[in-house]
Amino acid sequence: MRYVTRKLAQTVFVVVVVTFLTSIALRFLPGGTDVIVALKTGPGATPEQTAKVLEELGLNKSLLGQYVSWVRDFVTGNWGTTFRTNQSIATEVKRAMPISLYLMIYGQIFALGLAVPTAVWSAYKQNSRFDRAATTSAFAMLSMPNFIVAPILILFFSVNNKWFPYPSLYTSLFDSPIDHFRAFALPTVTIAIPLYAGYMRVLRADMIGTLQSDFITTARAKGVGTGPMLFKHALRPSLFSLVTSAAVNIGALMGGVVVVEQVFSLNGMGRLTVQSVIGREYPTVQYSVVILALIYIFINLMVDLAYAWIDPRVRASRALG
Amino acid sequence: MGQLSTQSRRKPGRLLAVLVISAGLIGAACGGDDTSSKTTDGTSPGSETTGPGGSDTTAAVATTAPPPTSSAEMQPVPGGKVVMGIEADTSSPWRPSEMVCAIGCYQVIRNIYDSLAMANDAGSWGPYLASALTPNDDFTQWTITARDGVTFHDGTPFDGAAIVENLKRGKEGILTGNALRPVDTIEVDPADPMSAIVSMNTSWAAFPYTLAGQVGMMASPTWLAASDTDDTLKSKPVGTGPFVYADYKADESFTMTKNPDYWNAPYPYLDSIEFRVIPDGLNRRDALKSGTVDLIHTTNGETISEFRDSTDFPMVEIANNAETSYTLLHVTQEGSPLTDVRVRCALAYASDEQLLIDTIGAGVQQIAFGPFSPTQVGYLASTGFPEAQDMAKAQELIAAYKADFPGPLNLSLATTQDQTNLTIAQQQQQWWTEAGVDNVTIDQIDQGNYIVTALLGNFQVFQWRNHGGFDLDQQYIWWHSKAAPPVGELALNFGRIRDTQLDALLDENRASADPARKKEIAEEVNRLFGTQCYDLWGSYTVWGIAGKSTVHGVNLFTLPDGTEAPFGAGIAGTFYPMTLWVEQ
Amino acid sequence: MTDIEVITDSDAPEVPLMASQAPAKVRVKRRGRVTKWLAIGWLAFITISAVGANSLPYISQDCPSNSKTCADALTSNLRLSEVPPTWATFAETPKPVKDTPSHLGIMGTDKNGRDIFARSMLGARTSLIIAGLAITFGLIIGTFLGMVAGYFRGWVDTVIENLSNVLLAFPALLLAIFLITFFNPPISTGEATTRPIWPIILALVILSIPPLTRLVRANTIAYAQRDFVVAARSLGAKGSRILFKEILPNIVPTLISFALTGLALLIVAEGALAFLGLSVEAPVPTWGSMIAAGSEPLRNGAWWVALMPAFVMFLTVLSVNLLGDVVAQRFNTREALG
């Protein structure tokens, strides 16, 4: 219980600090608040316009006051409008969120779907040609950043053979499933490649360990077939690191797919944040960064709590450590 | 503020769009306007009239044969939807006095709003939403009469008060206010509630041209008042135009539906239009080819070249009244080497514009030696501006400058984040370094801030595209020293040109109604720019409007007074979507 | 691994990176010596080329700007735009110009007619310097913080851990982007100024500190309980002495391995930032910006503009990762558990 309380306390602390820093960040931009005002009203703002903007953004209050009013706005959904296009920030975030979610979910499914069988077979047939090919290729994939993979995929699948559209014109799953999946195909593969590599290596290592343990040897001696042995007996205890990894990646992926979203012109959260940063839409940046951070924090918290619950050894050593 | 769709100067993807605010889109005083051969229906007059001015104003533009449609026999049928891919979205949408309106903006918003006046192909202007525009004897007062029986999309009646409300806001607008600077008072005519009287402190014969643009776009006063307090309403415009707002997603799409009560019957034909923002030129082209959109516009030389040869996608080219792509120089910045004409002209001599046209523009555009394209008043084949690269001369000029002003010669060149613009910028950097400039830094500015940078004067060298139109008066706000306050204040005269001779010419032109004299003035202005090298001229933009073969109607229409509206409406690249129709 | 991805949870005594390696019991004939030397060879080649890019004979230099046959790293010459490499006989340029060669160079030319091989070598300079400096500073700071946290525990530990958590709460690349934009001047001022390089390095340092701190902390905790440390302490040795003389030397191998992997990650991160246009400005080449600039030519058929620098970058990152792996294998056979 001490562990859980400590974790929760830490999380609260982090959330407070993160939201606080983000909320006051606007004040410390080079150029000062004048920049913000100029962005909102255009150059040559009158004193009344300036005062109005400062009031709206909470820049005329104390640090703490700004934080409080920011939190209030955030929680009530009163996020204001973008500078350049007068669009509701909340709407933009709501539009971007599903796209990132789709991308992340498809990427994880694809990566895990490939990684699990490959790792299992690799571990089983350790040092075979298959194993060596799998590990070498996984290692190579870890060295291929997504902005390298993407152009290659685009070249082969969109330019030379027009199987997939480029840029990915996002279509809702409900409007046209085929177009939807076609749009997400290349981005999913791009994201999944490094994920797959990581998962494959992790699971393979754990599987190798498990396959050497006593109970497996016992099971084999009892005559359990290869299939059930691998997937029922050996796989489950080996999933630990993989699951941790996958869970943590959920949060990391949300924001970390900036480059992929940019290359394929998918208007997800990552791209929204980058475009807003470049376009100096600071309030939008604030809200998207905070949301992504909160998701990530929350998921990490879940992972930590689940970790402790699942593995009593860990819990014990933690209590000591 | 300030997203000016910044597209590449000459080529694909991103072009630096013209900020056409007052856009008097209209009319040359003289000189034929070559709307010939630009329509899909081939109904244009193949006119190459020379105006009363006498000198040859025949376009030297490479024209293309009209696409092989036999549309002369086809009659427009109502119904259907068209999706058009456009090059950029608009900043500060969509209130007329606030929106930063470039080509992408005009193409979209002229469907929602009507303008009070419009250019016509007789080289003049005609009333459009207004039923009449009447000046007094010395052009210091104009009476604008609202057309009868017109209501805004929300039911508000269109009358003198509406005109007054809109023009007043225009005058207060940060950018539009510049266009209306000479205006003193705007009032409803006491004798006629349907009319407004505008008084100005100078003779302004060309005033209606300003009313053909953004300033003359009429929005519903009810909506204007409501959106004053609710920011999210600002992007849901209410006008009198042929289409009604349906949906808008910033940087994505703008959908509009037919206005069944539109006053200018039989338009529009279509049930709805969607404008999709596809900034990347290649993506836009591919979107058309894959059928995702029905129509696109483009200035990409390679794409235009490609579609010229294609029969699947008929293309209409608009090159009349074209804007010029050029490099803008900040000429009165304190301490800047660009204040010296030798440095400016050295940069011009060092540049090989034809090479850029050939390699990046696929040879489509015509090289420019001045701000006026062949169909514009004031065009000259030779202006005194360097007509080919002469590196030796450039080096000589820089050396002479350095002899007088020893010390490092540094320049910063501002461009957008677009790859093609960057390519051009790096080439320019190469040339100028060779000419003797010690250090050329490339400043990549994001689109949103690009126009702001220009407005504030926070640049030395700047890639731009502008100066389409008919009448020299449309360039007043860009070149007059009155439009050049100090750096840090907003100015449309980006380069802060303060030339008394230029001022005098512009003022004279504004007050003059004599076509012959206006032509002479424009030509003098052209030569002045040529010898002073205030800007480094590039090429005249060619726009291609390509679409599926089922889409028709990219053409002219008849104004209420019987004259024909010219193609491209003075901002090259735009047409009137209300004339579009699709085969059912 | 796209951006800096942290696969860890806050309290594991063991380091997740190590989980990817097979337990020592299994006899694994991993990458043979051949690959190891290939990796070292490539890195040596890249480093030498990066350092000497301006004067080495095999890197094309000093071409006149109107030349129709000579392309170098920095001279923009549109006549030679997008020419395929000499060995790619099946490829042709999408923009043929009269009297210019149909194939040029080891890697062809880019949109501005510059030699891609020469630019890649020059780009190595930027990438290696930025990533190298960032990992070095990150290493120093992270090691210091980690050792302090792991040895002294108590409130110092809590503070450092919480700070790490805060930093780790932000998606890595986004944090880097935000920091960089934050530190750069907002709008241009019309003066010829170059974008400074330190914000990029600073952002990358900040990103690499938390994982390093965790790693070092975990190891420090583990070693601090070992007999020789206890012995030293009972002999009266002071904390700092123990840290530097007893613990640090034992951590070094792990640090080296992590540093190498971290270096690879930072090269990729810098590449991503350059790809988004946030790294060093044109015309200084960096791999990421070269790849970004190559995406349009890619769609027009000039695949080498994007794929050649991508290949160079891939080989470099792969080599660094390989070395990191080799080092880890050499020095590690057990998992650090208290």
Q: How many whole angstroms separate alpha carbon B536 and alpha carbon B432?
A: 12
- Chain centroid, CA A55 distance in Å: 34
What are the residues whose beta carbons fall under 8 Å from the beta carbon of C304, sequence distance 6 or more?
C84, C85, C88, C91, C107, C108, C116
Average pLDDT over chain C, rounded to whole?
Answer: 79
- Are A43 and B174 within 8 A, CB to CB? yes
In angstroms, the Cα distances linking A311 to A116, A235, A304 are 22, 16, 11
Q: How many whole angstroms separate alpha carbon B414 and alpha carbon B421?
A: 10
Tens of pLDDT, residues C42-83:
999 999 988 887 888 888 778 887 888 888 888 888 888 899
What are the residues whose beta carbons fall under 8 Å from the beta carbon of A58, sequence distance 6 or more?
A23, A65, A66, A69, A70, A73
- Chain centroid, CA B71 distance in Å: 29
- Nearest Cα residue to B96 out of B115, B117, B118: B115
Q: How many whole angstroms separate alpha carbon B61 and alpha carbon B366?
A: 7
For each of chain A's 321 residues, which pLDDT tens digit applies? 677 788 888 888 888 888 888 777 777 666 666 666 666 666 566 677 777 777 777 677 777 888 888 888 888 888 888 877 778 888 889 888 888 888 889 999 999 999 999 998 888 888 889 988 998 899 889 888 888 888 888 888 877 777 777 666 666 677 778 878 888 888 999 999 988 998 998 888 888 888 888 877 887 788 877 777 777 777 877 887 888 788 878 877 877 788 888 888 888 888 888 888 777 777 888 888 888 888 888 887 887 777 766 665 554 555 554
- Chain centroid, CA C8 distance in Å: 20
pLDDT at residue C309, as a whole number? 92
3-state class of C235 per DSSP? coil
| B232: nearest CB among A88, A265, A267 | A88
- Are C76 and B429 within 8 A, CB to CB? yes
Tens of pLDDT, residues B444-484:
777 667 777 777 777 888 888 888 777 788 888 888 888 77
Q: How many whole angstroms separate alpha carbon B297 and alpha carbon B88?
A: 11
**Beta bridge pairs of residue B462:** B328, B414
B neighbour chains, 3+ CB pairs within 8 Å: A, C
Q: Which two tokens stand for residue B146?
A: 């609202």
User: What residues of C are in contact with residue A239 (Cβ under 8 Å)?
Assistant: none
- Are B430 and C75 within 8 A, CB to CB? yes
Tens of pLDDT, residues B374-389:
888 888 999 999 999 9
> Taking a contact as any Cβ pair under 8 Å apart, which residues of chain B between 151 and 210 contact chain A?
174-175
**Beta bridge pairs of residue B546:** B296, B315
**Beta bridge pairs of residue B248:** B254
With an 8 Å Cβ cutoff, is C249 touching chain A?
no
pLDDT at residue C161, as a whole number? 85
Q: How many whole angstroms separate alpha carbon B537 and alpha carbon B381?
A: 13
| C299: nearest CB among B282, B360, B487 | B282
- Chain centroid, CA C316 distance in Å: 9
Q: What is the 3-state secondary structure (H, E, C) of B115-150?
A: ECEEECCCCCEEECCEEEEEECCCCCEEEEEECCCC
User: How many C-alpha atoms does A99 have within 13 Å on its Cβ side?
Assistant: 28
What are the residues whose beta carbons fall under 8 Å from the beta carbon of C325, sequence distance 6 or more?
A139, C30, C31, C257
pLDDT at residue A41, as a whole number? 65
Burial of C256 (0-12, 13-18, 19+ CB in 10 A): middle
Per the document, the length of chain B is 584
Q: How many whole angstroms separate alpha carbon C304 and alpha carbon A152?
A: 11
Judge whether B143 and B48 are in contact, CB under 8 Å: no
Q: Which two tokens stand for residue C117?
A: 């091989």
| B231: nearest CB among A38, A86, A165 | A86
DSSP assignment letter at A88:
B
pLDDT at residue A45, as a whole number? 63
- Are A255 and C7 within 8 A, CB to CB? no
Residue B112 above 90 pLDDT? yes
With an 8 Å Cβ cutoff, is A37 touching chain C?
no
Handedness of CA B454, B455, B457, B458 (dihedral sign): negative
- Are A143 and C22 within 8 A, CB to CB? no
With an 8 Å Cβ cutoff, is C79 touching chain B?
yes
For every residue of A149-163, DSSP letters joined together read HHHHHHIIIIIISTT
| Confidence check on the interface: ipTM exceeds 0.95, yes or no | no
Q: Which two tokens stand for residue A99?
A: 């796209």
